[in-house]
Structure 1
C-alpha cells in the first residue's frame, strides 16, 4: 500500500492544484472581457478575508483571499461576485455604461461567461497533448488477449483472439475504450458484438463487479468484464496530432462524467460517490506522492472537472448564466430581474446543499462518523 501523505503535503498539494486552476478559469473571463471592452473592477482568487491585494493601472483590484475554493471577476455593472446585474448600471454616465458588462451585446456576454470553462478545457488539453507527444498514444487493439476463467466474458463465451466490436452499440476501437466503458457500469447488462474468424457474433452478458483498492486504503466498486489486453501497442504522436489526441481524450473523460452523473441522478449509482474539496485535497496529496507527472495529469483531470461543473445549468454557475442568455436569445429580451433573483436564490440553495452533501461524503470516506459512533458507543 502506498503511504498516505502528511497533512502539510496534502494542504500544499491542494493549493497547488486549486489555486492555478481558479486563476486560469477567472483569467479566461478577464481576458475575453478586456477584449470586449469591459472593465474588470476586481479579480479575486479565493473568497473570504483578503490576504493581500493591489490595484493595477486600469483600476482592477487584484486580490488573494483566505479560502482558495473558487474565485471571481467582478465587471463594471455587476452587483456582486455572482455577476448579478446591478440595476444602477443604467444610471451610469455614457462612458461608464460603454465599458460595463450589461451593456454589451448578447454574444459578447455569452463569450465572456463561456471563456472560463473553455480555458479550463484548453489548459487540460495542453497538458494531455504534451503527455501524448512525449509518451505516445496507447492504441492496443480491442482484442481479447486473456479471458479470465469464471468471468462475465467467459460466461458469455468470449474466447482469446476475439475482436470486440461494440458494447451496447458503442464502437470499441481500443482496449482503453473497453476499460472506460465497463469500469463505470458494474453489474449492468451488456450486448457485446465480436468478430471471430471473420464472422460477426452477438453475445449478451452482465458486467462483473469487483472491489478495488486505490492504494491509499479507499475501496470502491468497479465493473470488469474479465478480458485482458493482448500485446500493448503504443504509437508515436506527432506535434500536429498531439492536440487531436488530447481533444479526443478530453471528450472521453467528459462523456464518462456525464454518464456517471446520469447514473447518480437515475439512482443507478450512489450519491455517496460524489466527492468535494476535502476529497480533492486528499487525492491531491496522494497524487503528489506518485511523482510530478502523476500530479500534473491529476491537475488536468481536475481542470476538466472544473470546466464541466461550471457548465452545469445552475444559476450562480457559468452554465446558469449561459442558460439565461439562451432564453434571452429565443425570446429576444432579457429574463426579468424577478425571475433572475428567484433563480439565483434557488441556485445558491442547490449549491449549498451539494456542498453539504459532498462534505458529508468526504468526512464519511475519512471514517469520521465511524470514529464518532465508536466514541459515543
Structure 2
C-alpha cells in the first residue's frame, strides 16, 4: 500500500508527476482559447450563457451578474463558450431555439448578429492561442536570450546526403530551398521536416556561391525531453570553432518581434507536417493525443517550470492551428460558412449546415480515435 501511494503521489508518480502537469498545460491553453471567444463575443454585444473548462457534468460553478454560468466540468479535455441561441456547445444554430427567445434575447443571440461579428468572435479563439504563444516566447527571449551558431559546415558524415551532394568543410549556408538562413538552427529547422524532398542549398564557398541539391534522410534522434523522434538530416556537423556559438540578447521590442517570427515559423512547420502526413510522407506515430501530451507534460515538469511553460506555448499554437482547419465543428468550419454567407448575402440552409456538421463531427471523432489508438496501442 505504501509503495502504491508513493507511486501515486510522489513528484515522479502518476498524480503529481504526470496528471497535474497535464491538467495545468491543457487548462491554460483551453482557458485562453475560450476566453478569446468570450471577450470578443462580449465586445460584439453577444450574450453568453455558459463558459466551461472541460466537458460533461459540472463539478463546480457560479453565475455572474450577466447570467453567464462559469463552470469546471468533469472531463478536462477541452472547453466551450455557449452563446445565447446556440443549440449546443459547438455554436450550431437552432431555429426552434431562436423562435423561443424573447426580443431582448434575440438582440444578443449569436446567430442574429452580423456575419462579421460572428466571424470575429469565432476567430478570436485561435488568435488568442497564437497571442499566448507569442507572449510566452517574448518573455523567454527577453529573460534568457537565444543561443545561436553561425551556419557553417565543420565536417560531413561519411555516406550522408551532404557528402553525395558535394558539401565541403568550410561551406557557409546562405539559403535552404529559397529561404535565407542566418544561424545553424535555421538550417536544421528547414531540413528536419523535409525528409525525402530534394532541397536546393545555396552555399558560400571561398569567394563564390554554389548551389547543391541534397535530399534529407530520416534519422531517429532524441528530443530535449528524451523522446525518440524521426527527423530529416543531410549529415553536416557544426562545431564551436566555425559555429562560434553565442547568446543573442533582445530588448522588449526585439523579443516580441522574434516571438512573432518564431510563432509564424511553428505555424508553417505544423501546416507542412499535416500536408505531408495526409499524403503519407510522415510517420503516423508523430501524432499523439491526450496520453502523449500527458507524458510530455510530466517530462517537461521534471526539467523545470520554464519547460512546462514552453510546452504550453507549443501546444497553444498547435491547438490554434488545428482549430482553424476548415472542418466543422472546428472554428475553421464555422469561418467557411460565414465566408459563404458573406459572399451569397444569405446564410447556408440549416439542412445543408447540419449535414456538413455531421460529416465534420464524424471526421473529428475519427481523428480523435486515431490519436488515442496511437497513444495506447499503435506506437
In structure 2, the gaps of 5 or more residues are 1-10
Cα distance in structure 2, aligned partners of 1:343 and 1:110 = 18
Q: Show the counterpart of 1:60.
A: 68
Cα distance in structure 2, aligned partners of 1:34 and 1:256 = 33
Q: Show the counterpart of 2:154.
A: 145
Query: Does structure 2 conserve the Cα–Cα contact (< 8 Å) formed by 1:5 and 1:286?
Result: no
Cα distance in structure 1, aligned partners of 2:251 and 2:222 = 36
- State the secondary structure of the residue aligned to 2:86: coil
Are 1:6 and 2:13 matched, yes or no? yes
Deviation at 1:92, TM superposition (A): 2.8
- State the secondary structure of the residue aligned to 2:151: coil
Name which of 252, 256, 268 aligns with 2:281: 268
Deviation at 1:148, TM superposition (A): 3.0
Name which of 152, 170, 185 aligns with 2:194: 185
- State the secondary structure of the residue aligned to 2:55: strand
Q: Can you list the C-alpha shifts for 1:290-327, whole angstroms capped at 9, x where unaligned?
A: 11111111110001111111111110111110111111
Name which of 48, 52, 55 aligns with 1:44: 52
Distance verdict in 2 for CA 1:36–1:215, change over 3 Å: closer
Cα distance in structure 1, aligned partners of 2:28 and 2:203 = 45
Superposed counterparts of 1:16-31, under 5 Å: 16-31=24-39
Distance verdict in 2 for CA 1:166–1:228, change over 3 Å: same
Cα distance in structure 2, aligned partners of 1:332 and 1:349 = 29
Cα distance in structure 1, aligned partners of 2:108 and 2:133 = 31
Q: Can you list the C-alpha shifts for 1:184-211, whole angstroms capped at 9, x where unaligned?
A: 2234322221111121111222213321
Query: Does structure 2 conserve the Cα–Cα contact (< 8 Å) formed by 1:121 and 1:303?
Result: yes
Query: Structure 1 residues 144-153 or 100-109, which shifts more?
Result: 144-153
Name which of 278, 283, 287 aligns with 2:296: 283
Are 1:319 and 2:343 matched, yes or no? no
Deviation at 1:137, TM superposition (A): 3.4
In structure 1, the gaps of 5 or more residues are 367-377
Are 1:307 and 2:320 matched, yes or no? yes
Cα distance in structure 1, aligned partners of 2:78 and 2:104 = 31
Are 1:104 and 2:99 matched, yes or no? no
Query: Does structure 2 conserve the Cα–Cα contact (< 8 Å) formed by 1:207 and 1:224?
Result: yes
Cα distance in structure 2, aligned partners of 1:269 and 1:325 = 33
Query: Does structure 2 conserve the Cα–Cα contact (< 8 Å) formed by 1:145 and 1:231?
Result: no
- State the secondary structure of the residue aligned to 2:313: helix
Cα distance in structure 2, aligned partners of 1:218 and 1:36 = 44
Q: Show the counterpart of 1:158.
A: 167
Q: Can you list the C-alpha shifts for 1:153-204, whole angstroms capped at 9, x where unaligned?
A: 2332212221212222232232111111111223432222111112111122
Q: Show the counterpart of 1:372.
A: none
Q: Show the counterpart of 2:133.
A: 124
Deviation at 1:216, TM superposition (A): 6.7
Query: Structure 1 residues 249-258 or 261-270, which shifts more?
Result: 261-270
Name which of 345, 349, 352 aligns with 2:358: 345
Structure 1 stretches of at least 4 aligned residues deviating more than 6 Å after TM superposition: none
Q: Show the counterpart of 2:251.
A: 238
Q: Could you state the TM-score of these two structures normalised by the residue count of structure 2?
A: 0.91
Q: Show the counterpart of 2:86.
A: 78
Cα distance in structure 1, aligned partners of 2:229 and 2:178 = 27
Q: Show the counterpart of 2:372.
A: 359
Q: Can you list the C-alpha shifts for 1:196-253, whole angstroms capped at 9, x where unaligned?
A: 1121111222213321234777433211122233111332101111111000000111
Distance verdict in 2 for CA 1:211–1:270, change over 3 Å: closer
Query: Does structure 1 conserve the Cα–Cα contact (< 8 Å) formed by 2:225 and 2:300?
Result: no
**Cα RMSD, aligned residues only:** 1.8
Query: Structure 1 residues 71-80 or 85-94, which shifts more?
Result: 85-94
Aligned length: 363
- State the secondary structure of the residue aligned to 1:240: helix
